[in-house]
Amino acid sequence: MGRFVVRLLVLGFVTLAACSSDGEPAPTAATYLAGLESVCATTSTALGALPDPPDGISAADFATQASALLRDEAESVRALAPPDELDDDHRALIRNDEEQAAAWSDIAAVAGGPDVDAESLDALTTTITQLNFGRDDLVTAMGAPSCVRAAG
């Protein structure tokens, strides 16, 4: 009688484990990186399509649009399912995009006012450049070299 109970318990655990599995395979690095590079390509194309200030667009409008594009990229990256080995980098990339977007929003605020503070603009530009260099190092280390952007 004891063996029957043990077998019944084992069968119950196996059945429970099978039912709790969602059936989807774990994300792979290759699948994740392909999705990431697609997101990067979309953002790069959109950023490249923005006119150059001050001739085609005001600095404030450029900064506002760049911020929106980077926020959209952060959300698109957030929607990707990273494999465990890239999870920390995945979160760091989202944070970097959000920090760059915030800095671009700050530039829009500074550049859109009647009195432009050149020192503030220089500091924000330096911040964005540093974030961009860090982002480039990060995506290169992740294995997504097509996500590298030229600074500035």
- Establish whether the linkage from the previous residue to 145 is cis, with ω within 30° of 0: no
In a domain, residue 127? The reply is: yes
Range of the structural domain that residue 41 is part of? 28-147
Q: What is the pLDDT of residue 8?
A: 39
In a domain, residue 45? The reply is: yes
Q: What is the pLDDT of residue 22?
A: 57
Q: What is the pLDDT of residue 13?
A: 42
In a domain, residue 6? The reply is: no
70, containing H or E segment? helix 59-78
In a domain, residue 17? The reply is: no
Q: What tens digit of pLDDT does each residue of 51-90 get? A: 998 888 999 999 999 999 999 999 999 999 999 999 999 9
In a domain, residue 50? The reply is: yes
Number of domain units in the chain = 1
Tokens of 11: 């069968």
In a domain, residue 12? The reply is: no
In a domain, residue 3? The reply is: no
Spans of the chain, pLDDT less than 70: 1-23, 151-152
Q: What is the pLDDT of residue 30?
A: 97
In a domain, residue 119? The reply is: yes
Tell me how far apart the alpha carbons of residues 152 and 149 are, in angstroms, rounded to a whole number.
Answer: 9
